[in-house]
Structure 1
Amino acid sequence: MNEKHAGNNISSDGLLDFLTELGKALTASGISVVDITAILERIADAYGEEAEILIFPTMILIKIGEHESAPLNAANQKPGILPLNQVSEIYDLVYKVEKAQISPKEAKKCLRQILAEKHCFGPVGILIGYILFSIGIGMLLQPTPEQLIVSGFLGAIIGILLILSRGRNRFMLILPVIAAFIVSTIFLWSLKAGLIAGSVTMLLPALAYFLPGATLTTGMFELAYGEIISGSSRVIYGTAILLLILFGVLIGIQITGFQEPKFFVTNTANALGWWAPYLGVFMFTIGMYLFMSIKNKDLPWVLLIVYVAFFGQIIGNHLLGSLFGAFLGSLLMAISGTIVERQEHRTPSFISIMPAFWILVPGALSFLSLATLFNQNYLTALNYSVDVAMTIVAISLGLLIGAVATEPIKGKIIKNS
């Protein structure tokens, strides 16, 4: 029997059911199947059992001894993830069961209690948080007063839609299309009426939450790790979400009758000053804190890792260009996130690095590439598409090298848990 298990005398009864429900919760959080498999294997080992685990983004199958779980629908595919306060507490539970401190049956009850918890800040927090989130992204993409006003206004509309859609899973499936249609129609009507002037770049901050940059990057990471089916399905799903968002924008164009070619010309002008992107990162993170329900103890570390990724990207851009910037930002956030996880009051690396995916903008680039393609600007679309693919590869490579480089540190985390 496993020595760790022999010393604590805690029964492994109910382990299969607990691992199945935990795997489902971790999958719904958006964690890669590579990490989920490793977590579940460590837990099974802690209770003196050997598990065979098969996980896809939409299915879980676990076998312990002669007992095998029925194939389980892991998570309904929909935009977004679990509130991050729940994810943080799930990891706290994981740290306990990796040491077999409680029985699997008790752990299962704790998991269900965690998943029943509410959003920390409620509807008001979601609305204010999304407005700040949108303005922060706007200050990164195009720091102009007009961009910030549009980002805040359209962000408030998306925030209201997200509040109204809570608990309505079927509606959430079509929410990216509806959100893209509503905000693009309002924005394009304002352009046509001469109330504002701008381009497709102004739409990106409000729609940033739906852009599947993290999904595409995780999929590429899983492909690089040898998880062919999971990686491919995430990449396909992310591409489908992009097409749905673009479809909503194109319907808005047809309804408003807006035919100005300059709409598809991106603009990254900075009319506020050099400081704007740095403030934008802070506003973005505070928005994420409110909108994604980040726990107070995790906020300082999330803010730190977001700035690490941001400065890493800036340094890389300055040294060798944008691709190296994406790689360096990804590498530094992966390493620093794991180091933070070692601390006594640790924040899981998944929570600390997840917001930084929006800073590295693979989702925004993907949307722009498709937008220019549908405008029949094929050369520009091809350039954007190549940038998208290489940026996602660069970020994934940074995550992969970071995971390999920090493997000894993760081993210490497990031993000291």
Structure 2
Amino acid sequence: MNPRAAGLDELTGFLTRLTRLLLDTSGEGAESIEETVRAAARGLGGDADVLLVPDGAALTVTARDGARTVTVRGFPEVFRLDRVTALKPLVADIRAGGLDVPGAGRRLARIEQSAPPYPWWLKLLGIVLFSLGFAPLMQPTWYEVGTTAVLATIAATLAVAADRVPRLATVLPVVVSTVVSVVTLLAFAGDAAHGGPVLLMLPALFFFVPGDYLSAATAELAAGRITTGAVRLVYSTFLLVQLYVGVLLGLALTGTSRRALFDVAAEADLPRWALFLAWVVFTAGTVLAFAVPRRFFWGLLALVYLTVGVQSLVTGLAGEVAGTFVAAAVLAATATLLGRAPHRPPRLVLLLPGFFTLTVGSLGMRGLTTMAGGYAVEGFQDLLKLVTIVTAIAVGMLLGATLVPVTDRRSSSSASRKRSARRP
């Protein structure tokens, strides 16, 4: 028997806290939770079984003195990736047999109690930069960039305020989209030459558009995780509908006809260098908005350019669906391979910025608002394209993860030998 093996009570307490923290940071998918919790349990001389739904888990812990089942609840988000990053070396040390439960518990407590790595004003700046990086994708015009700077600052201010006012957080998507809709219609959408009002609104709302949740839900369904995928799909659709309702409320408050929700893009006037540098702005925004340690910026930027480059190349050769599918597969395989190294960030952190470049929640918003404006055919085409592209992302990510296993077998075998050497 392993002399470091924990008792049932202390092991259950630690794994419950670990599972809750993993659930709270699982907005992009729950596929790694089971493996992480089981690995931690084995490293501490016990065993664990996890039955997941997106906001909860039934955790069964087995130790030398029995077994126990507990229910763990957590709300899936993705805004504190510094915690995800800090969990990786903790779990690695546990798996290697270098920590007992009290020591692991103290390190986990430090992660749970840690303050965000950036002050509120840098998070606000991050959301603005995140939106500005996407603005040229909607319309490559200076007017779009200038409009986004104003609207994203308003949206970011509300997002930061919601961190301190829980009641606002519960209705944040509809509040943000309503305010952005009103300001856009009153101040920026007077001239059709600048493009449709929804195209002006979308970059500022992109931080709240659940395109990543939609893709994660589809990926979980494709991988056979029916419960987590279906629930996450319903939740992401609900978030999308909230944003849509906010846009309609903006129309009502300003007395604007729904026919104004046309989807016509303005003539491009941004130079190529601005389009290229937009991804630098976007990556910097992602680091600040999602609390990613700044030392990972250059690696994440490289993955963003890799994803965009592959997507652009294959799209030019074989069309948008093929380009998205191949880019998703390459991103997933590369992030999985790089994430094996102990000194690199976890796979989720490596995936996220590139994943955002592929997600298409904006198509859902454009489809719903276009249909609301009376343009049924165009709206349906956007929604059909949404389903197609989301599926391509999900299957591509699944293929990439299949081609490159998450765990290096040689590393796993080495860790197992080290643990065995410590046992009498």
Tell me if TM exceeds 0.5. yes
Q: Residue type of the partner of 1:116?
A: Q
Q: Residue type of the partner of 2:88?
A: Y
Relative to structure 1, is the Cα distance of residues 413 and 373 closer, same or farther in structure 2, using a 3 angstrom cutoff? farther
CA deviation vs aligned residue, 1:208-236 (integer Å, no higher than 9, x gap): 01111111111111111111111000000
Relative to structure 1, is the Cα distance of residues 403 and 322 closer, same or farther in structure 2, using a 3 angstrom cutoff? same
Q: Residue type of the partner of 1:144?
A: T
Q: CA deviation at 1:175?
A: 0.5
Relative to structure 1, is the Cα distance of residues 266 and 48 closer, same or farther in structure 2, using a 3 angstrom cutoff? farther
Identity of paired residues, percent? 25
Q: What is aligned with 2:220?
A: 222
Is residue 28–residue 78 contact of structure 2 (8 Å, CA) maintained in 1?
A: no
- 1:149-188 aligned within 5 A: 149-188=146-185
Among 4, 15, 24, the alignment partner of 1:10 is 4
> 2-side partners of 1:331 and 1:268: how far apart?
33
Relative to structure 1, is the Cα distance of residues 355 and 82 closer, same or farther in structure 2, using a 3 angstrom cutoff? same
Correspondence 1:121 to 2:115:
no
> 2-side partners of 1:169 and 1:415: how far apart?
46
Q: CA deviation at 1:369?
A: 1.4
Q: What is aligned with 2:248?
A: 250
List alignment gaps of at least 5 residues for structure 1: none
Among 24, 27, 48, the alignment partner of 1:28 is 24
Is residue 263–residue 366 contact of structure 2 (8 Å, CA) maintained in 1?
A: no
SS of residue matched to 2:281: helix
> 2-side partners of 1:259 and 1:411: how far apart?
61
Relative to structure 1, is the Cα distance of residues 416 and 247 closer, same or farther in structure 2, using a 3 angstrom cutoff? farther
> 2-side partners of 1:216 and 1:280: how far apart?
24
> 2-side partners of 1:268 and 1:28: how far apart?
40
Q: What is aligned with 1:72?
A: 72
Q: CA deviation at 1:47?
A: 2.9
TM-score normalised by length of structure 1:
0.92
Q: CA deviation at 1:17?
A: 1.9
- 1:358-397 aligned within 5 A: 358-397=356-395
Q: What is aligned with 1:148?
A: 145
Q: Residue type of the partner of 1:289?
A: V
Q: CA deviation at 1:109?
A: 2.5
Of 239-248 and 274-283, deviating more is 274-283
Is residue 5–residue 45 contact of structure 2 (8 Å, CA) maintained in 1?
A: no
Of 260-269 and 40-49, deviating more is 260-269
TM-score normalised by length of structure 2:
0.90
What do you get for the CA RMSD once the two structures are aligned? 2.1
Among 1, 6, 15, the alignment partner of 1:19 is 15
Q: Residue type of the partner of 2:306?
A: V
Q: CA deviation at 1:412?
A: 4.3
SS of residue matched to 1:11: coil
Is residue 61–residue 68 contact of structure 1 (8 Å, CA) maintained in 2?
A: no
Q: What is aligned with 1:102?
A: 99
Q: Residue type of the partner of 1:85?
A: D
Is residue 193–residue 266 contact of structure 2 (8 Å, CA) maintained in 1?
A: no
CA deviation vs aligned residue, 1:60-110 (integer Å, no higher than 9, x gap): 1111234223222222x5xx5242222211222122222232122322232
> 2-side partners of 1:408 and 1:62: how far apart?
23
Is residue 23–residue 73 contact of structure 2 (8 Å, CA) maintained in 1?
A: no
Q: What is aligned with 2:330?
A: 332
Among 342, 346, 357, the alignment partner of 2:340 is 342
SS of residue matched to 2:261: helix
Correspondence 1:57 to 2:51:
no
> 2-side partners of 1:266 and 1:230: how far apart?
37
Q: Residue type of the partner of 1:204?
A: L
> 1-side partners of 2:31 and 2:403: how far apart?
16
Of 15-24 and 243-252, deviating more is 15-24
Is residue 191–residue 198 contact of structure 1 (8 Å, CA) maintained in 2?
A: no
Is residue 63–residue 69 contact of structure 1 (8 Å, CA) maintained in 2?
A: yes
SS of residue matched to 1:345: coil
Q: What is aligned with 1:43?
A: 40
Among 208, 211, 226, the alignment partner of 1:210 is 208
Relative to structure 1, is the Cα distance of residues 194 and 269 closer, same or farther in structure 2, using a 3 angstrom cutoff? closer
> 2-side partners of 1:331 and 1:413: how far apart?
24
Q: CA deviation at 1:379?
A: 1.2
Is residue 12–residue 61 contact of structure 2 (8 Å, CA) maintained in 1?
A: yes
Is residue 213–residue 357 contact of structure 1 (8 Å, CA) maintained in 2?
A: no
Q: What is aligned with 1:321?
A: 319
SS of residue matched to 2:171: helix
